[in-house]
Amino acid sequence: MRYLIMLAIMAGAAFPAWADERLPPIKNEMVAKECGACHMAFQPQFLPQESWRKIMDTLPSHFGEDAGLPEAPRREIADYLLANAGDVSQSREGRKFARSIGNGPPPLRITEVPRWVGEHREVRKNAWSDPRVRSKANCLACHRGAGFGLYDDD
């Protein structure tokens, strides 16, 4: 019994820290469906509003692909991304991403955000070309919980 009580106390003490270090999972079905059709649907907290505006305004030329959408789903996705962007987020981790950009130009790639770069500085360069990884944007290759906002090293 004493073991269970101690375990409950430890879990309760750890939960707030764990909650602060994660990003909220995507809660919009349209974002999950449309963005997730080609890549992991990234949590909007990774980028500031201005980045998401530019990305959503250039979907017909989305990193070399035509990701254009009809206006209604495009607007729904844009509204969700803008409402949850890192610079307006209630997520502590999201605010850290936004602050790391500073006054510089808003990045269009999450992998260009200084916080992302800093978190991945110890990753060997050849890891990005590993066939299981293929890209810096393939978060799920290394972070199995990424879709749930968990980016601890797995």
- Residue 21, pLDDT score: 58
| Between 36 and 1, residue with greater pLDDT | 36
Q: What average pLDDT does range 49-62 have in this prediction? A: 96
Q: Count of CB atoms within 10 A of residue 18's CB?
A: 11
Q: Hey, what amino acid is at 150?
A: L
Q: What is the mean pLDDT of the chain?
A: 86
The Cα–Cα gap between 154 and 147 comes to: 13
Q: How confident is the model at residue 154, as a pLDDT?
A: 54
Per domain, the residue ranges of the chain are 2-148
C-alpha distance from residue 14 to each of 9, 19, 40, 56, 144 (Å): 9, 9, 28, 37, 21
For residue 152, name the pLDDT band (cuts at 50, 70, 90).
confident
